A and B are shown apart, each in its own frame.
Chain A
């Protein structure tokens, strides 16, 4: 399957991916209305320092430990995409503890949210990748992932 991969060599820590993510998942068609004057809760996070930075989002593992650990059964594998059912999540944060990439984080309501590759929102393809100015994240096929 195609996944989002990080080319940390080219990441500028501009944080555009975070804003594009928050907008794509806002359900709105106007970025200003969606984001102006509000804290944002993106599903991708830029980490690092001045020397090296990289954007972290769900790796969509072939054998996802978060799905195995979720006490409520809110996380599941839908084809190759790992999804969260926000109606089922109880906010216990077990998935946050087990995810080796730190890819999950709660939304403003305390319920888990995660990257679902924008496949079902208004963007239709990862908005972070589409808006990255330097190809520091790419959406590619590279085979299995542990």
Chain B
């Protein structure tokens, strides 16, 4: 090998006065950074392999370790930044497309952080969630446009199929294959206990998880992996994946090395073969084609399951959503450009798509203007990080939110963004049995349940403060939001006033 142009990104700092040479770090690092040196009588580290996942830091019993960013920098240059230059080095060395994982880490605007929430003072009383009942339940699906009555005057109640949720949050699509069996088990158990949904992603549903069907959304993507009649009927709803926020315009790709054992069986493809989902659905080139798939799926499930169409937030999202609403879909899921992924080409992840806040506001407005807002529910995702993001999303017009990154964080993910290497030290984005084992679903599901219960409580406090006692009454209530530091154009797309107005 010639010269390595890239100096390691991180330094492994070991406090020698604390290290007891237990070698726990060595056993726990799948990147083989740490090693005991018999000759030197100390632990050594090869920091060039470190991805800063902090597994060793978390398990070291004497807190002897920390990982810091190396301060070995190339000469300052505002145009050719350190990261940009190193990407060029990498590509000059490999000749390949750069790969990345998780969501876009670049400092593009996060509109949630520039939107503030209202509270009641004096003239309208706030509500205390500890003293008064509050409703966080929502149902997703088509709403009737008007109340119809029979001859006796009774209300005709023939609702289209709905998804019932105890709170307006669901775990979004992550396939079995991109994440581990134990990660799926944690999500499935937690969704069931919480009365919400998790999503199979595009790799089919492992036979062990059919039991969680009433809390499962089954996904049909362009590769159709693992799709069959029982699968479609197993879940509470079916999602057609047209696109994903992290990589709009391309399909999923799970390398053959990960298609082993149960994953190959669940996906219904041979072991070792790459699972490459085409960029388009080869049978969908128009809204009419989409309508055919929506109704094929409804037909296959006897019109008992709502159909979700998931798209990435892109430039013409409002017009696209209007088309989807007319395709017969019950729910539109929009995924913003900060959404995560197990692997995506870096250039696509970091440069394609638009922020979810703007996409959501424009879709909600467009559907209202066209009088078809009640024909679909809107679910938004792509970096919903907290209860306040959820409340802001609902007020902007969402019926519910999809979260995935926050759920993985609850399971132990440290956002090292190297999922594509398949060596996740936290047992999440890996299929190596010794690593998968590190995520005990009993602990994982407890942590997910804790997180969502905490959010549920915070949501109640936030809406109670506004004097609102149900999610339903917050939906699309943009008067409850104000922008700070936003331009007229941004405010008009978001449909909110500036703070002080």
| Residue ranges of A at the interface with B (Cβ–Cβ < 8 Å) | 9-10, 12-16, 19-20, 23, 31-32, 35-37, 50-51, 131, 133-136
Contact = CB atoms under 8 A, between A and B. Distances in A.
A23 to B, nearest CB: 8
A19 B59 contact: no
B20 A16 contact: no
Interface in B267-316: none
Contacts of A136: 440
A9 B23 CA distance: 22
B442 interface: yes
Interface in B365-401: none
A9 B18 CA distance: 31
A63 B288 CA distance: 75
Interface in B320-365: none
B27 A134 contact: no
B62 A134 contact: no
A13 B23 CA distance: 11
A50 B19 CA distance: 25
Given A16-B22, A50-B434, A10 B440 contact: yes
Nearest to A9: B437
Most chain B CB atoms below 10 A, which of A12, A20, A131: A12
A16 B62 contact: no
Contact of B20 (A32, A50, A133): A32
Nearest to A23: B61
Interface of B: 17-24, 27-28, 59, 61-62, 433-434, 437-438, 440, 442-443
The dominant DSSP class at the A interface is loop
A12 B20 contact: no
10 contacts: A10-B440, A12-B434, A15-B27, A16-B59, A32-B20, A32-B62, A133-B59, A134-B437, A134-B440, A135-B442
A13 to B, nearest CB: 7
A62 to B, nearest CB: 27
A46 B61 CA distance: 17
A10 B61 CA distance: 19
B20 A31 contact: yes
Contacts of B27: 12-15
Nearest to A135: B440
Most chain A CB atoms below 10 A, which of B21, B23, B24: B24
Nearest to B16: A36
A53 B20 CA distance: 23
A136 B427 CA distance: 15
A131 B61 contact: yes
